[in-house]
C-alpha cells in the first residue's frame, strides 16, 4: 500500500486530534510533521511529533497532504501558506473559513458530496463544525423530501474555541466551588453555569447575525448544492467541554413522517439514531464525544409548518466537526485515485 507524507499547520486542539485520529484510523502514513510558530517536539499520547516552522511554499515540498488545523473561526494561516503549498503539489485540507465559499475550492463532507473533490486544485475546505454535524442527518432527509427551510439553534462546546477556552471553563468552575471571584478572558462573559448567545463577530453581509450563524446558511447551500434552502440560526456557547448539539426544525417540500425519517437515518453512513423518548433516550454531547457518528434523536413532527420535522443532533465538534472530516477528505481522495 502506498504511504503518504503528511503535515499539519497548527498543533492545538484540532491538530492534536488529527495526530490521534491518523493513528486510530490506520491512515497510510509515511511521515508526519507539524508546523507552528516555533520548533520543538510535542508529545502526543507518549509519541513524539516534530514541530517545525514553515517559511514558505518550499516547506511543503515532498508532502502529499497538509492539514491546516485551526479551531473554530481560525483565520490567516491558509491565506499565508495555503495556496503556496498547493502550488508545489501538496494537497491542502483547510479547517479555517477563509476559502470555504471560494467557487474554486470544494467544500466537502465525504459522506455527502464526495464528487466535489474531483475538481480540486490541491485545496479543499473543511466545513464549519456545526454545519458538518447538522448536515450528517439532514442530507439524507433532503434527498428524500427536499429541504425548503431550516431553523437551527446550536449548543456549542467550549472546545470549539481551543484549549484556552477549556481551561477557562474549568478554572471558573473551580473558582465558583471555592467561593472565589470568577474571571473571564476568552469569552465576553462568564461561561460556567451560563450560556453566551454570540459565537463570532457580527456578520457583515447579514446584520444582526453572527459570523457563525451566517456560515450555517452559506455552507449548507453549497454542500447540498441547493441555493433555494433558507436557513435561520442562533448559535450559542454552552458550558460543555466537548460536543456540539443543535435543535433542528426543518420544513420540506414533500411530506416526511418521523417513522420514515428514522428508517432513512438508520441506514445513513455517519449517523446513529438514538431516539426513544419513553425511556429518556436521546443524543447528548457526552455520548457523542469520541464517536465518529453524529447522534440524532427527538425525531417528531414540527406542527408549526406543513411538511415539518424536528430533531436533535449531537456530534463531536473536534472529530466530525474538524479533525475527522479533514482526514476523511484525504482518505476519500486516495480512494477515488485523486492523490
How many of the other CB atoms lie within 10 Å of CB of 262? 15
253 is catalytic: no
129 is catalytic: yes
From the candidates 108, 129, 152, 235, give the one annotated as an active-site residue.
129
How many whole angstroms separate alpha carbon 197 and alpha carbon 235?
6
CA nearest 322: which of 98, 111, 18, 36? Answer: 18
CA nearest 231: which of 222, 221, 239? Answer: 221
Angle ∠(69,75,79) on CA atoms, nearest 5: 90
How many whole angstroms separate alpha carbon 154 and alpha carbon 313?
9
Q: Where are the alpha helices (DSSP H) in the chain?
A: 13-24, 77-87, 129-145, 163-178, 211-224, 258-265, 285-288, 324-335
Residue 322 corresponds to which cell in the numbers above?
474538524
The DSSP secondary-structure symbol of 110 reads T
**CA-based max dimension of the chain:** 59
* Strand ranges of the sheet holding 271-273, from the earlier edge strand across to the other edge: 230-237, 147-156, 244-252, 308-315, 294-301, 271-273
With contact defined as beta carbons under 8 Å apart, do 66 and 77 qualify? no
Q: What is the DSSP annotation of 304-328?
A: TSTTEEEEEEEE-TTIIIIIHHHHH
Residue numbers annotated as active site: 129, 244
Amino acid at each position: 500500500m502506498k504511504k503518504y507524507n503528511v503535515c499539519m499547520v497548527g498543533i492545538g486542539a484540532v491538530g492534536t486530534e488529527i495526530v490521534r485520529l491518523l493513528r486510530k484510523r490506520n491512515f497510510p502514513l509515511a511521515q508526519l510533521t507539524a508546523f507552528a510558530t516555533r520548533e520543538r517536539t510535542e508529545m502526543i499520547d507518549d509519541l513524539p511529533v516534530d514541530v517545525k516552522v514553515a517559511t514558505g511554499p518550499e516547506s511543503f515540498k515532498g508532502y502529499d497532504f497538509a492539514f491546516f488545523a485551526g479551531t473554530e473561526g481560525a483565520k490567516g494561516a491558509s491565506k499565508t501558506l495555503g495556496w503556496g503549498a498547493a502550488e508545489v503539489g501538496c494537497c491542502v485540507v483547510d479547517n479555517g473559513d477563509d476559502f470555504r465559499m471560494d467557487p474554486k475550492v470544494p467544500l466537502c463532507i465525504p459522506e455527502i458530496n464526495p464528487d466535489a473533490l474531483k475538481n480540486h486544485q490541491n485545496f479543499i475546505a473543511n466545513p464549519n463544525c456545526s454545519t458538518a454535524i447538522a448536515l450528517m442527518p439532514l442530507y439524507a432527509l433532503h434527498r428524500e423530501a427536499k429541504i425548503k427551510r431550516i431553523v437551527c439553534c446550536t449548543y456549542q462546546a467550549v472546545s470549539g474555541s481551543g484549549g484556552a477556552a477549556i481551561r477557562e471553563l474549568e478554572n471558573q468552575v473551580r473558582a465558583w466551588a471555592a467561593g472565589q471571584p470568577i474571571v473571564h478572558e476568552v469569552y465576553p462573559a462568564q461561561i460556567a453555569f451560563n450560556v453566551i448567545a454570540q459565537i463570532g463577530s457580527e456578520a457583515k453581509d447579514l446584520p444582526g447575525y453572527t459570523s457563525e450563524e451566517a456560515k450555517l446558511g452559506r455552507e449548507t447551500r453549497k454542500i447540498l448544492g441547493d441555493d433555494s434552502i433558507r436557513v435561520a440560526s442562533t448559535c450559542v456557547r454552552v458550558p460543555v467541554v466537548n460536543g456540539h448539539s443543535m435543535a433542528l426544525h426543518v420544513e420540506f417540500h414533500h411530506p416526511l413522517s418521523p417513522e420514515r425519517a428514522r428508517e432513512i437515518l438508520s441506514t445513513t453512513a455517519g449517523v446513529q439514531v438514538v431516539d426513544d423518548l419513553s425511556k429518556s433516550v436521546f443524543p447528548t454531547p457526552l455520548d457523542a464525544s469520541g464517536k465518529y457518528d453524529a447522534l440524532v434523536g427527538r425525531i417528531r413532527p414540527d406542527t408549526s409548518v406543513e411538511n415539518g420535522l424536528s430533531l436533535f443532533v449531537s456530534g463531536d465538534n473536534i472529530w466530525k466537526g474538524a479533525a475527522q472530516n479533514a482526514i476523511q477528505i484525504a482518505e476519500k481522495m486516495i480512494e477515488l485515485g485523486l492523490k
